[in-house]
Chain A
């Protein structure tokens, strides 16, 4: 059926022919008869990665095949979403090995983006936890691959944005927990230097990230709040929480039912929001034990928060530069701050080492910001891209909707090798997204 589709940024929107399937044979038959198709999960990447002429919706291919609660291994069809998995595994004392800032993504999408979480510096990205997975390739063959078996396909599929074929099944390991709570510490940092120092000081914590107020200048440039956490032990819980340590209290969900007019978010409101956010942390260091949901998924509490940016949508800009290129981070943040084009969210995180073919994370600083679409924005972001490139950094494809092909090729060292592997499994380029076309990813 022809549908108007867009991802989380509401930009771009395209008319696409979307099909769903529940059996592998149905998918195989569809693949044999189509080109210009791309698998699509829950549409939570921000840009144009899972948009194509033909969309293969994975959402009905959502069966959980096995759960080994002794060794912590789950095997699922790729359309299962992380929230469904959490509902099942948390009460049994297990957690996702890696999770991004939303749980409303499919497992297939998580692997195709090789997602990272607040624990990247300790646990790496999701690809490091995949035991094996099935990929249905253009020839109609389903190949089970892992780091040791068909490893070329495996590494080109992790972070490969769906271009090697359709990820249909993923088996991955889980993390043992004894409570559904996180022991969190929040630390105020007056400026960028301080938060970077704090990141280093707190790097032994499993989870860490910082909110940066991008609009601060002068001495308080880079003013931020570092949030670190560990899975809480039963002893750390309150008496009330300890009664059912693996069960979260029920909560209400808020939603933004329609697109807000774009004037709602302007420099003033963003400044006010940031001011409130910073100052609600009235002490320099705050400790508390909170349910895992607000810790990992603060924005999931507001369904459709993306509508807050209005009908025109927004892009999220996320880049990484190596630890040696702190100047690059400062230079880019300065440009953003000077421009004042606002950013509801700005998240800073330090990545650990990661060896992979085409995944985004590499050891260094990563910063993610939202920009509502406006006139001149893309020109401005092009300028930022040049600075990122100059400092040897790169952009996250799952957030990208507008990068130029040259930037991609020059910033991802393995771009050519990736394209070669994709060509083996997808020789006629039948798996193709708007993004792969725009960036000539497989040309």
Chain B
């Protein structure tokens, strides 16, 4: 069975994605910082689905370690899903560079760093799938989260360019724009129920979209149109809104 590598495997969304793929009998490589928690997840996947799962230490912001990390995996994954992200605090990031840097380095630089390695490997063997979890926040900068948003905007553009480059090599790249998801990352926020997806629904949608070789996935269809409208607002008006 194919092997899936989850980068940032400890998040709620990653847990759901791992379970979805494991339920389909994929083997799972869990990569993240908190390896102790990942051990529990590894056991969980084995007990629930009887698949092989393994744990690998990975830090998105330790860029230099990335080539060695990928080369050192016990088996090369057929599918790589880049899930890690850091929401951070916008107001803090405005006047605290380490916070801003953490947001940018996790959501953008770290993702580019590791996916460059993965992409080159997949391009060389002319097969593979890369799935990147970006964010609708990257579609237009808003005062409430433009540092996170701009990092995700960079990531979205990166994925789109990568898709373009790798198309001829037979490597599929899918961008995922989940919208609001009910996870620990957002547990301090009050989210509108209609626009908020459960992590299991995100995982389900990703799996289906991957099978259909979709390029861009909006998990809840509303978001595609919401973002379209938001993008259509003229800048002169947009700058006066408190979004």
Contact = CB atoms under 8 A, between A and B. Distances in A.
Interface residues of A, number: 18
A142 to B, nearest CB: 13
B187 A63 contact: no
A63 B43 contact: yes
Contacts of B12: 22, 60
Interface string B185-197: 0011110000000
A74 B12 CA distance: 23
Interface string A60-81: 1011111100000000010000
Interface string B177-220: 00000001001111000000000000000000000000000000
A60 B184 contact: yes
Given A1-B189, A60-B12, A65-B40, A20 B47 contact: no
B184 A64 contact: no
A173 B34 CA distance: 30
Contacts of A62: 44
B187 A1 contact: yes
A66 B47 contact: yes
A64 B44 contact: yes
Nearest to B40: A63
A18 B190 CA distance: 12
Contacts of B10: 22-23
Nearest to B186: A1
Given A64-B48, A65-B47, A22 B187 contact: no
Interface in A1-50: 1-2, 18-23
A22 B44 contact: no
Given A23-B37, A63-B40, A63-B43, A88 B48 contact: yes
Interface in A83-107: 84, 88
B36 interface: yes
A23 B34 contact: yes
Contact of A63 (B44, B188, B189): B44
B44 A23 contact: no
Interface in B11-67: 12, 15, 34, 36-37, 40-41, 43-44, 47-48
A20 B10 CA distance: 14
Contacts of A77: 40
A23 B36 contact: yes
Given A64-B48, A66-B43, A66-B47, A20 B187 contact: yes
Interface string A166-201: 000000000000000000000000000000000000
A382 B197 CA distance: 44
A22 B48 contact: no
A63 B190 contact: no
Contact of B184 (A2, A22, A63, A66): A22
A71 B84 CA distance: 39
A388 to B, nearest CB: 41
Q: Which 5 A-B pairs have the closest CB atoms?
A: A63-B44, A64-B47, A63-B40, A23-B37, A67-B47
A20 B184 CA distance: 6
Given A1-B187, A65-B43, 11 more contacts: A2-B190, A19-B187, A20-B184, A22-B15, A63-B41, A63-B44, A64-B48, A65-B44, A65-B47, A67-B47, A77-B40
A84 B12 CA distance: 17
A12 B48 CA distance: 36
B37 A22 contact: yes
Contacts of A20: 184, 187
Interface in B96-132: none
A365 B12 CA distance: 44
21 contacts: A1-B187, A1-B188, A19-B187, A20-B184, A20-B187, A21-B184, A22-B10, A23-B34, A60-B184, A62-B44, A63-B40, A63-B41, A63-B43, A63-B44, A64-B44, A64-B48, A65-B40, A65-B44, A65-B47, A84-B48, A88-B47
Interface in A275-314: none
A67 B45 CA distance: 12
A55 to B, nearest CB: 11
A54 B148 CA distance: 29
A236 B28 CA distance: 41
Nearest to B188: A1
Nearest to A20: B184
B226 to A, nearest CB: 22
